[in-house]
Amino acid sequence: MKPIAIFRHSAGEGPGYFATFLDAHGIPWRLICIDAGEPVPGSVSDFSGLCLMGGPMSVNDDLPWIPPLLALIRAAAAAEIPVIGHCLGGQLISKALGGVITKNSVKELGWGEVTVCDPAAHDWLGDIERFEAFHWHGETFSIPPGATRILRSAWCENQAFVLGPHLAMQCHVEMTEAMIRLWNRAWADERATPGPSVQTPEEMYENIEARLAAMRVAADRLYTRWIAGLQ
């Protein structure tokens, strides 16, 4: 099998549990470090799928790697090569496929429940109707033409959508404890007031092992359905 191309846009936002899942299933992958200046490949022909991770930038920023990456996503969609995105990655997929990225009504930082909002979600999540995901975002994507929203939260209406073999998520199901602790080094930089949609680092660490284990039940189902589309 050709490898999955995993795009890292920030040094602290690597593939996390997604890479662990691929390794457990014997699926090869290649990390493309956009943050280190690695160029966007000019073709999807060397890959069986694309995975886009998060990042602190906006999809609307004038960054030189964004237009070629959007073009690569469109090429993958045209070739029916599965694409999956986490947070910024989900926003990149939305924009590539005709959606728009705007400021969310509030920031979401920390653990928060997401709920199924369309029967199409059962193809991806089975009997799971809701689960606690991890969040770290201030912007949100729209649902592009032809796609189906499958998840929402109390603070962000569009938490995930599917389009054929493609899955775009606003939430982070790839998190590890090490990643959460690393991100919290920059918690103060978010300048967010703790409240219903914003947790403090201390609140994020409460029952963290159990929370990660529960989230991985949902992540396993989402990732298992996604790899089923690989050619």
Which residues pair with residue 31 across a beta bridge? 6
Residue 4 Cα to chain centre, angstroms: 15
Q: In the chain, count H helices and then E strands.
A: 7, 9
Taking alpha carbons only, the member of 4, 61, 54, 20 closest to residue 34 is 54
Taking alpha carbons only, the member of 119, 98, 110 closest to residue 168 is 98
Over range 1-11, report the average pLDDT: 97
| CA angle centred on 12, ends 217 and 41, rounded to 5° | 90
Q: What is the pTM of this model?
A: 0.97
Q: Report the 10 Å Cβ neighbour count for 57.
A: 15
As for how many domains the chain has, the answer is: 1
Q: Are 192 and 178 in contact (CB under 8 A)?
A: no
Domain that holds residue 188: 4-227
**pLDDT number for residue 231:** 81
CB-side neighbour CA atoms (13 Å) of 55: 23
Q: Does residue 65 have a pLDDT over 90?
A: yes
Over range 206-211, report the average pLDDT: 98
| Helical packing angle, 88-96 and 66-78, nearest 10° | 70
Tokens of 216: 């991985």
* Residue corresponding to tokens 């990456």: 69
Supply the CATH number for residue 58's domain: 3.40.50.880
Residue 68 Cα to chain centre, angstroms: 19
How would residue 64 be classed by pLDDT, with cut points 50, 70 and 90? very high
Digit-coded pLDDT (tens) for 112-157: 999 999 999 999 999 999 999 999 999 999 999 999 999 999 999 9
Per the prediction, the chain carries an average pLDDT of 97
Digit-coded pLDDT (tens) for 92-113: 999 999 999 999 999 999 999 9
